[in-house]
A and B are shown apart, each in its own frame.
Chain A
Amino acid sequence: MPVLTTPSRAPMEGLERLMCGYQQGDDEAARELIRRVSPLLLRYFLVQAAGRRFAEDLVQETWMRIHKARPTYRTGEPVLPWIYAIARYTGLDYYRRTRRVEVREEQVEVLPERAAPATSGAAAAPDLEEMLAGLPASQKEVIVMLKVSGMSIEEVASATGSSAGSVKQKAHRAYEVLRAKLARGVMKA
């Protein structure tokens, strides 16, 4: 089943060591952790609906919460599920609040411009946000955690507070939708 294959873990190796260093007040470890995890968090928030406008702010807010929560990280446990669990609730807090505000806002005549796609060498690459557009938020987050961060099914289940079976089901459904979209030629292959 293709859904179960995950990208190489190599770039994410050593995160546990960095997190322990960060917990102990090591500047260099914290800097390296921020450098390696921030792009993942940014990508996570970018693919969420209405995330682009505030994606960078949400990454910042997530780091503030991670900083506050760092005593609760346990040595030897995978870091990414712990970080994504915090990011997930940061996003939920934000979306719940803004959804209420946006309902009351008037519709704008000109839609805000999307930020330019990734720069050099990425012109022909498909855009992840475009690919995942239209999927429910729960399926998007599962695909991002599996495919962008290379987390295992069990780690995604731990980050989302659900069962491994539920994660597999969401990923499978997301793949079905993506396959159908590709078959209709909705996305640029």
Chain B
Amino acid sequence: MNDDAMERMLAQAAENPNAAECDAAIARAEAALLKDLRPARRLASPMTLALLFLAVFAAVAFLFAARLGLGGIHALSAAQRANIFPLLLAAAGFAALGLTREMRPASGRHLGAAALAVCLAGFPLLFLANFRSLGMAHFVREGWPCLKAGVMVAIPAGLIAALILRRGFVLSWKMAGLAAGTFAGLTGLAMLELHCPNLNVLHIVVWHVAVVATSAAMGLATGWAADAIRRRAASKRLHS
């Protein structure tokens, strides 16, 4: 059999399925959807949503840093500031784009994992290029509070991101959780760059970047749990 004949076979086979099954499915859908049909308010454009996420990023990072003290930005040189903050904003923009994609079905490939990979590979290189090693003294004692503070900032940023995500229609909360966790982790990282005056490259590469990884893992786990709960509810509906 040649390709044309197979195309014809597929086209023939693709005709409507059993008419009775079709009619039943149509009748059920009409009964459920048309009884109280009202106009739906359209979701904002992806650009508006991305700007909203960026506003959350900037506001949360700055407010928490201002509360804890802006020692970090004062300790950085002009060149370090010029290298770090635009790249932090660009990474947050990429993560925000990933979040807007999670809000609409069929809006493109998931970007959460890519955003995380870019952060985990890019920021250590950026910090290695901008800071120098000052040894391993008090490595854990000085690092642990930074990780804790970064994660404590990431949690509200992630919660606000989740609230915005709920305005859309998320198909995979696992992927949305990863994107939100990465975005929130970047918020925590930005706060640390504004607040932490420790310029030891090992401290920054390990403890500051760990905020992004920890937050992304938390987001992924939360999304996975949300998916499991939703799947259970859908399954109950189907089997009832």
Contact = CB atoms under 8 A, between A and B. Distances in A.
A12 B235 CA distance: 31
A82 B26 contact: no
B15 A60 contact: no
A189 B1 contact: yes
Given A56-B28, A119-B18, A179-B1, A7 B11 contact: yes
A56 B26 CA distance: 9
A158 B108 contact: yes
A61 B32 CA distance: 10
B38 interface: yes
Interface string A24-56: 111100110011001101110010000000111
A39 B16 contact: yes
Given A71-B40, A126-B9, A58 B238 contact: yes
Given A69-B105, A118-B19, A35 B26 contact: yes
Given A27-B37, A59-B25, A175-B6, A183 B17 contact: no
Given A38-B26, A93-B231, A98-B235, A122 B7 contact: no
Contacts of A68: 169
Interface string A114-138: 0111110010011110010000000
Contact of B168 (A2, A67, A72, A183): A72
Contacts of B209: none
Contacts of B28: 56, 59-60
A30 B109 contact: no
Nearest to A127: B13
Nearest to A44: B17
A96 interface: yes
Given A27-B34, A43-B17, A61-B238, A161 B108 contact: yes
Interface residues of A, number: 77
B172 A89 contact: yes
A39 B232 contact: no
B21 A42 contact: yes
Interface string B166-193: 0011011000000000000000000000
Contact of B29 (A5, A34, A46, A81): A34
A75 to B, nearest CB: 8
B163 interface: no
B26 to A, nearest CB: 5
Nearest to B39: A25
A60 B29 contact: yes
Contacts of A84: 106
B136 interface: no
Contacts of B235: 93-94, 97-98
B230 A93 contact: yes
B228 to A, nearest CB: 9
A68 B168 CA distance: 9
A50 B207 CA distance: 49
Given A43-B16, A68-B169, A93 B234 contact: yes
Contacts of B232: 97
Contacts of B231: 93, 96-97
Contacts of B21: 42, 55-56, 115
Contacts of B230: 93
B6 A126 contact: no
B238 A57 contact: yes
Nearest to B33: A67
Given A84-B106, A93-B230, A148 B19 contact: no
B97 interface: no
Which interface residue of B5, B9, B21 has the most chain A CB atoms within 10 A?
Answer: B21
12 contacts: A23-B40, A39-B25, A59-B28, A68-B169, A73-B42, A82-B106, A89-B171, A89-B172, A93-B230, A126-B13, A161-B110, A163-B109
Given A27-B37, A82-B106, A89-B171, 7 more contacts: A2-B7, A42-B21, A69-B105, A71-B168, A115-B21, A131-B13, A183-B1
